[in-house]
Structure 1
Amino acid sequence: MKILVPVKRVIDYNVKARVKADGSGVDLANVKMSMNPFDEIALEEAVRLKEAGAATEVVAVSCGVGACQETLRAALAIGADRGILVETDADLQPLAVAKLLKALCEREAPQVVICGKQAIDDDANQTGQMLAALLGWPQATFASKVALADGKAAVTREIDGGLETLELRLPAVISTDLRLNEPRYATLPNIMKAKKKPLDTVKPDELGVDVAPRLATVKVEEPPKRSAGVRVPDVAQLVDKLKNEAKVI
Structure 2
Amino acid sequence: MNCKLCGEQKTLVKKSHIISEFLFESLYDADRKLREFEPFSISKGKGRIKRPSSGKYEGNILCEICENRISSFETYASKVFDFSTGKSKDKSVFQIDTKEWIAIKGLNYDRFKCFLLSLFWRASISSLNEFAGTNLGPHEEEIRRLILGGFAGKTMDYPTYIYLHNGFNGNNLQFISPPSVHKTQTGHLVYNLPILSSIISLYVNSRNHPYPYGMKETVLNSQGEIKIVKLTKELSTQILNKHLKLNL
Structure showing the higher strand proportion among its residues:
1
TM-score range, shorter chain: under 0.3
Give the TM-score taking structure 1 as reference length.
0.27
| Larger of the two Rg values belongs to structure | 1
